[in-house]
Structure 1
Amino acid sequence: MSTIANTDNWLEIKAAAVAALPPSVVEFIASLEGSVHSESHLIAILHMVQAETGWLSTEQMGAVAQLAQIPLAKVTGVATFYHYFRLQPRGKHMINVCLGTACYVKGADKISQRLMDNLGIQFGETTKDGMFSLESTRCLGTCGLAPVVMIDDQVHGPVTPGEVSLILEKYLKKEKTAPKA
């Protein structure tokens, strides 16, 4: 009688990895199997995951590592190195504060600080209720309206620190009156 336990659980690991990723990503990774330098597609794979899910979770990065047979350290290294990848879910409303020269000279730093104070978050974070994410950008191409804040696809400008609360309240009010899905 053998006392050595069977520790080969690849089928379970693979099933969990497949379940953690969108089917299109799983298919893409499978199509790379056996190709030379399949790890060179890592950034494309991570872009696909983020495009489908909005961000890269620890579970998803682990699944990519398993299915693509790339060390997890390399997957997380790439995901954390590139600014484009988000490692936290985004809020329902994306707030971008322009910190380009025209906006900054006209007080974008004060607008940014007011937003951070009102929302209780810093750049790159999402409010606990999942309503808002706050990001900075270098230019929104609306210098004539400086300083500007873009929420989702709507540009607000020129904005004063005193208007920040009113702008946020409009979005919160819209959420309260929106029909429940």
Structure 2
Amino acid sequence: MQRKHENQTGKTLLIIAVLLVLGIGLTVYKNESRKAATTQQAQREADLKAQQNRADQEREALKKAAEEAKAKDILSTALKSADDVMSRWDDAVTIATSTSRMSLSTPIANLQAIKRDATALTVPPCLAAGKTELIKGMELMLEGYLDFMANTGKLGNVIAASKFDEAKPHIDNYKAARSACPTP
């Protein structure tokens, strides 16, 4: 009987030991599973964050590209407006130059209107100094035509020629500034 009791006690201890090992194994397994799940969750979160960062960078790049395109569009429009004013001015000067003294009032009025358009122009920074030069040159040319109309004979011719000569460097400075502006 004692042997039976020892046998039973041994079996009980063996069962307890097996259960204890299984319990410890199960606990270790659960802990490892939690660690793996936590690691996977952290990896997913890191992947999502990286994906979000890439999306943000792409969005910023697109926004920057759109702003650059808009700036180029604004620059292009401003330069086209300035070119249009200069072209109209050159055409009006050609007409005024070939008009008689008595008939100059209409061409001068046209030149004055073009000068007002030039004054109202919004230009990019690369053309700001050029615009000032252009307006100064236009004013001198207009003064020359008005002096030519007011003074008959050679005096009118001399005064007008002097004003035209004085205006030329200003117009040339505008043209140099215009050619220095970037092409959109």
**Pairwise TM-score range, normalised by the shorter structure:** under 0.3
Q: TM-score scaled to structure 2, two decimals?
A: 0.23
Q: TM-score scaled to structure 1, two decimals?
A: 0.23
Q: Larger strand proportion, structure 1 or 2?
A: 1
Q: Larger helix proportion, structure 1 or 2?
A: 2
Q: Name the larger-Rg structure.
A: 2
